[in-house]
Amino acid sequence: MAVGMLAGTTGTHGSARGRMTILAAVIGFVAGFLLEGILGGVLGLVGAALACVVISDLVYGASRREGSGGGALAFIVSLAALVVIAIALLLPIIVIVIVLALIWLGVSRHRRAQRKHAGLRVLR
C-alpha cells in the first residue's frame, strides 16, 4: 500500500494515472511475493493499485483547487506512507484498518463527486 501511496503523490490524472497504477501494482506484487509468497503478492498488488488510485485522485483534486499547494499534501502523504510501512512491520494486523480507511476515503470522495454533479444531470 505504501508503494501505491507514494506513486499516487504525483497526482496524475487520465492515462498517466493508469500507467502509474500499473507500475505501483507490479512493484506491490513483487514486494509482497518476496516477503509472503503468492498471497502476499496478490494482496500487495491490490493494495498498491487501490492506494495509488485513491491518493492520486486526492492529490489531483487538491492541486487543482490550490494550484501549487498540492506539494504539501504530497509530502504529508509520503509521511503517512512511512507510517504505514512501520505499522506493517510492527503490527501487520492493523493494516486491515488502514485498508478499510482507504476504501472509505475512496468511496466517500466518489459519493461526494456524484452529489456535486447530480444537479447538472437533471438539467439535460
**Tens-place pLDDT, residues 24-68:** 999 999 998 998 899 989 998 999 999 888 888 888 877 777 666
> What's the whole-model pTM score?
0.78
Cell 504530497 maps to which residue? 74
Dist. CA 75–CA 71, nearest whole Å: 6
**Tens-place pLDDT, residues 73-89:** 778 888 888 898 898 88
C-alpha cell at 44: 500487495
